[in-house]
Each structure stands twice: as structure tokens, then as C-alpha cells.
Amino acid sequence: RPFPDVTIVEVGPRDGLQNEKRIVPTEEKLALIELLKGARLPRLEITAFVSPKWVPQMADHEEILRRTPAADGLIRSVLVPNERGALAAIAIGVEELAIFTSASETFAEKNINCSIAESLERFEPVAALAREHGIRLRGYVSCTVECPYEGPIRPQAATGVANALADLGCVEISLADTIGRATPESVDAMLSAVKASLTAEKLACHFHDTFGHALDNVDVALGHGIRVFDSAISGLGGCPYAPGAAGNLSTLPLVKHLEEKGFSTGIDIERLLQAEEFAAGLRQGNTEIQAGDGRRVS
């Protein structure tokens, strides 16, 4: 099958590493990205052009993007909170910008220091830049089901924000369960509501796996026709502004789960295993990177 049935968006280098206590050295991040490319992951969210005061782990975003060259069939994506981030990423060269807001007002305030409406206004120049430069625009809605501050979120709230992101020009809206509290029932209710106005082809799901529900939630989303899932190698991840957001859905179990169900992903499992081992070591801070000449660099 030349085209995969399901597309995986690997967010480990961004969503994963933004939450590591240790600031992972740039060289280690780049080595991880190389391994992920080698596993033929078609879409990599490699860093975030956010404020280093807010997320120090992503302070090396320019270097990460500069040293991750474009490659055939690869979409390099970066998270951007505002026009400044978009301009900096475009100056280096990127295939996708990902803007991010929330279905919960409190989470938006904590994460990006503005209301949902203000965030959408902030994204207008980002969307204009994406259009002008022919760059894909992706949008995230955090807390589509549960918020760490507000508790359960009404499906209509997620729907309103997803529609607003689509109106801005996002070709894909990733619906996030930021703290992994969603259940098959709550995901089903949220997706039913969002799909009243957006087709499944425009949607992705971004599950965190704090309570071990992520794969069950994937099954519900597959039933809704969703074919794009975000995951992080070795289940790295969380969000520094979402207390309790443990790891993202882990890429390797997701790929195995999908292939067992008969969905192709186009991913090289053997190479993915190597990336998995490297990422697990990186979390514990005991990776050994071989430089091109075989010298140990960290």
C-alpha cells in the first residue's frame, strides 16, 4: 500500500522534551530527530518557537530547525504562539506552523497568558504569513474534554474553538486531551459535537496517556473516521502548564495497535525501536551520542 491508512504526527521532540526536568542538550535532541526521520515518521513536530522564559526547554528552537534540514516526504512542524514565532520559523524554512489555544479559558490564560478570543486574534497574522508563504497551518485545541483547572469541558466549547481555527485557515485541527482524563465516552461526545461542523478529514486527535485510556480513545476516534494521531516516542511528554499531564500517547504501542487492527502507518518498526531506546535513555539522561566521527559528544 503506497499510502498509509493512518498518519502519525510525532510530537516527542516538542511535547515530550518541553516537559523534561533536565534541559536536554541540543545535540541529543537532534540525534533523536534523526532517528525519528530514519523510522520514516512523515510528520515531526520538532520544537516550539515560544518564549524561553515560559518554556526554557525549547530555547534552542532556531538551532533545532536550522539543523533539521528539509527532506523528501517529511513535514517539519513547529509550534508558534504568535507572529514573532512564525516570522522566525519562516526565516529558517519550515513546512508547517502549529498554532495552539484551548477550549478552557483558564488553561489559555495559564498557558499563553491571554483569553481564547485574544489568542485567535494573535493567530490572524500567523495565518496570513502561512498563506503568503504556502506553509501548512495546523491548529491545536487543548482541554477539549477536561481542564486541569476547570474540570470537565462542554463539547460545545471544543467545537466553537475548533471552528474558529478552521475559519482562520487551519488545514487540520488537533483535538487534545491535555491531561489524559478523557474516556471513550467523553471522547465520543466531544467528537460527535465537533463533527457536526467539521469533517473527520480535517481532524486529528492528541491524547495524553496519564490514566492509560489513550489507546481506547484512539479506537473511538478511528470509529469516527479520524486517521491522524499525535504521539510521542517513548511516551515522553506533558505540558508544564498542565499539572498532572503525564506522558503523551506513546508512538511504538500506537503503531503496533494500528497495524494489529489492519491500518498501515508506513513506519519502519525496527528503526522506531532504536528511536524508542534512545528516547528512553534520553529521559534518564544517559544517552550516548556518537558524532559523525564516532566521538562521544554527551
218, 257 in Cβ contact below 8 A? yes
Cell 482524563 found at: 181
Q: Among residues 12, 13, 16, 81, which is the contact residue for ligand HMG, using CB under 6 A?
A: 81
Cα gap 40→122, rounded to integer Å:
34
Residues in 152-191 that interact with ligand HMG by CB under 6 A: 176, 178
What minimum distance in Å lies between the beta carbon of 288 and ligand HMG?
29
Q: Point out the catalytic residue in the list 147, 170, 205, 239.
A: 239
**Interaction between residue 15 and Mg ion (CB under 5 A):** yes
Angstrom distances, CA of residue 258 to CA of 215, 263, 275: 10, 5, 19
Q: 100 or 266: whose CB is closer to ligand HMG?
A: 100
What minimum distance in Å lies between the beta carbon of 240 and Mg ion?
11
Q: Which stretch binds Mg ion (CB under 5 A): 13-21, 40-48, 53-61, 76-84?
A: 13-21
What minimum distance in Å lies between the beta carbon of 181 and ligand HMG?
12
Cell 478529514 found at: 201
**Interaction between residue 115 and ligand HMG (CB under 6 A):** no
What minimum distance in Å lies between the beta carbon of 178 and ligand HMG?
3
Residue 205: active-site member? no
Q: Which stretch binds Mg ion (CB under 5 A): 7-15, 50-58, 92-100, 261-269?
A: 7-15
**Interaction between residue 96 and Mg ion (CB under 5 A):** no
**Interaction between residue 106 and ligand HMG (CB under 6 A):** no
Q: Among residues 16, 68, 90, 100, which is the contact residue for ligand HMG, using CB under 6 A?
A: 100
**Interaction between residue 146 and Mg ion (CB under 5 A):** no
**Interaction between residue 210 and ligand HMG (CB under 6 A):** no
SS (H, E, C) the chain: CCCCCCEEEECHHHHHHHHCCCCCCHHHHHHHHHHHHHCCCCEEEEEECCCCCCCHHHCCHHHHHHCCCCCCCCEEEEECCCHHHHHHHHHHCCCEEEEEEECCHHHHHHHHCCCHHHHHHHHHHHHHHHHHHCCEEEEEEECCCEECCCEECCHHHHHHHHHHHHHHCCCEEEEEECCCCCCHHHHHHHHHHHCCCCCHHHEEEEEECCCCCHHHHHHHHHHCCCCEEEEEHHHCCCCCCCCCCCCECEHHHHHHHHHHCCCCCCCCHHHHHHHHHHHHHHHHCCCCCECCCCCECC
Q: Which stretch binds ligand HMG (CB under 6 A): 77-85, 123-131, 151-159, 216-224?
A: 77-85
**Interaction between residue 194 and ligand HMG (CB under 6 A):** no
Per partner kind, with CB cut-offs from 5 to 8 A, the member of ligand HMG, Mg ion, none near residue 111 is ligand HMG
Question: Which chain residues interact with ligand HMG by CB under 6 A?
Answer: 15, 18, 48-51, 53-55, 79, 81-82, 84-85, 100, 111-113, 140, 142, 176, 178, 206, 208, 239, 241
Catalytic residues: 239
Question: Which chain residues interact with Mg ion by CB under 5 A?
Answer: 15
